[in-house]
Structure 1
């Protein structure tokens, strides 16, 4: 994938940039020391420190690149900070007096202590470290035999190095960490989108198959009862069952192709026929609904009719359609009426809210009734 290739390239670039910079920067004070004619024997502790501390820092940088989201333990870096600080003072006072470039040794440990920290926190810690080391170097420059009347240059160089060196490494690591976070966010967004699509598909399947199977069950039961007393009507009901099954299959195919069709007028006609065949007296009061609400109102009506057939001993039903409102009321509610927290009603409530409307499902104003209502802007 292009995104993964870009991430691999970013990782390779970060490793190349940071890991190649470490030995180059560490060699700077060494070259300056020998350029100043310092004694080789006096410089041996400094060289030994470089041989040990630079590979340690190089390894910790590599680990920080491999696990950018992890905050490593700070104790090893504190140990190397103490050792490198002693070496810095040794070089500044004895091995190569006045050479403040050896401050890069503690700067490596100070950088390590900022791994995984927030930008504000790492900047604050680096600033305090620069101030402390600057004060130490300035004090030594002012009090030591090789000091001068103006220790400000040494102090300024120390503060500058302790700010620039950690900043350079941390900015590279932070860019790599941001790239990892963005990649993870992209993958999370893709997974969330797939989950939402699965939920939408599940809700649509519930709407289609739940209603169709409830109607098929009702009509099959009716055909069974009519088989002996009215064979012709029983045959007609079974033919209707076959038609409903084929219609449900077609709806599922349209859903799989991403073009499910739900229409209020179609659902009204189907509800009238279905309720009549179930012996339910249905009163329909329709004003022309807004065309853009037709699909959503069709879903609400279908789910409401399915619920009254499934959960109530309904004898009468009232369906009211207004330009921006749909209400379905049925009687025959049991002592424990269905609540509005089922899968179908819950998904309808979410759809209506997303459309900027209000959805309610609960006991109606008349005793023993249940009301489903959707009001859109």
Structure 2
């Protein structure tokens, strides 16, 4: 695209060959303009072809090796500009915007902002010279128009730099978001899996003395769970796995049973619409982990319905404690899906049990209710 604009240099050539100009001026001016055009094209293709896509900044350290070649081409441009100026006078002003473009777009000689300041100073000096020594109104307006082209190039370069910085910021934000999502997934899987493994190991330890066969069964489950947890971590880090609601519901039942908690389930995994099951499974996993770790509950109620998952326990409640990393991560997931997460303690509803219908929290403990609506 930078080379396309050299077509404008045909205008001074036409003026040279159609006006009343001395032959030597016509020859020298034509040589200067053609030499400038070829050098500018050469410099443009060299710099663009060598430029790395990973280093979009024209002043990046990776460009330091190109400063020598860029300087030699700048010297050539100045030589041909001097030849054109000597032969044609004010027609050489047509070359000025190309100097601006070379310094601001193509060359690594100066960083962006110092280059813009340098071009602005050059525009001011050229404007003053034009207004003072221009031989005719035509030459004055022609040269001033070329200076205006330099201003447009400055504005374009500023816009390009702003877009580059915004794109860089977007890339950094996307990378940070992806790292946060992966860390959240790993936290959710490891937190749940390690909690369940600990419970199973404690049960096996208690059974080892008076029921070795039951302890052996629990240890076999520990091995299976550890293998599943390792597979979960691998697949989650590679972003290939989404949790399955039916499997998570079965895992939560098993975990609560291992911790001697009574659990009542209302609804089924199949009652939740397929697009919502992944998020409902994450919610159930986080609620299960928190209840097993912190609640000291005896009964748990799980309610599943289209657009709803509610997990209530009769434990000690939050006591004003803030959300941990797992709940904060779950809250972001729910918000990103357009849903709403409500964590209430004391629990607003009593906890259902399969044998007694509905019962209030034991001993008047407040309990906690985690509700997600989608």
**TM-score, length-normalised on structure 2?**
0.63
1:248 corresponds in structure 2 to 229
CA distance in 1, matches of 2:194, 2:88: 82
CA distance in 2, matches of 1:313, 1:330: 9
- Do the aligned residues in 2 keep the contact of 1:72 with 1:115 (CA within 8 Å)? no
- Do the aligned residues in 2 keep the contact of 1:361 with 1:371 (CA within 8 Å)? yes
User: What is the SS of the residue equivalent to 1:336?
Assistant: coil
Correspondent of 1:228 among 197, 200, 209? 209
Structure 1 residue 29: Cα displacement: 6.2
CA distance in 1, matches of 2:97, 2:280: 66
Structure 1 residue 211: Cα displacement: 0.6
After TM superposition, list the pairs within 5 Å mapping 1:4-153 onto structure 2. 10=1, 14=2, 16-18=3-5, 21=8, 24-26=10-12, 34-35=20-21, 50=90, 58-66=98-106, 70=113, 72-73=116-117, 74-88=120-134, 91-92=135-136, 100-117=138-155
User: What is the SS of the residue equivalent to 2:260?
Assistant: coil
- Residues 106 and 29 (structure 1 numbering): CA distance in 2 closer, same or farther, change over 3 Å? farther
CA distance in 2, matches of 1:199, 1:282: 32
Residues 293-342 of structure 1: per-residue CA shift (max 9 Å, x gap): 333222211110101112222222222222331111123326635433x3
- Residues 206 and 51 (structure 1 numbering): CA distance in 2 closer, same or farther, change over 3 Å? same
CA distance in 2, matches of 1:179, 1:204: 37
- Residues 100 and 197 (structure 1 numbering): CA distance in 2 closer, same or farther, change over 3 Å? same
Does 1:350 pair with 2:332? yes
Does 1:336 pair with 2:334? no
Q: Which has the larger radius of gyration?
A: 1
Residues 218-267 of structure 1: per-residue CA shift (max 9 Å, x gap): 22233334433443333332222111111212323443565424233322
Structure 2 unaligned runs (5+)? 23-84, 350-364
- Do the aligned residues in 2 keep the contact of 1:212 with 1:244 (CA within 8 Å)? yes
Structure 1 residue 290: Cα displacement: 2.4
After TM superposition, list the pairs within 5 Å mapping 1:198-277 onto structure 2. 198-255=179-236, 258-277=239-258
How many residue pairs get matched?
Answer: 291
CA RMSD of aligned residues (A): 3.9
Structure 1 residue 31: Cα displacement: 6.2
- Residues 345 and 258 (structure 1 numbering): CA distance in 2 closer, same or farther, change over 3 Å? same
CA distance in 1, matches of 2:125, 2:242: 70
Structure 1 residue 58: Cα displacement: 4.2
- Residues 271 and 338 (structure 1 numbering): CA distance in 2 closer, same or farther, change over 3 Å? farther
1:322 corresponds in structure 2 to 305
- Do the aligned residues in 2 keep the contact of 1:338 with 1:362 (CA within 8 Å)? no
User: Which piece of structure 1 moves more, 362-371 or 181-190?
Assistant: 181-190
Correspondent of 2:272 among 290, 314, 317? 290
CA distance in 2, matches of 1:21, 1:353: 55
- Residues 310 and 338 (structure 1 numbering): CA distance in 2 closer, same or farther, change over 3 Å? farther
- Residues 17 and 180 (structure 1 numbering): CA distance in 2 closer, same or farther, change over 3 Å? farther
Structure 1 residue 100: Cα displacement: 1.9
Structure 1 unaligned runs (5+)? 1-9, 37-44, 93-98, 118-173
CA distance in 1, matches of 2:158, 2:165: 11
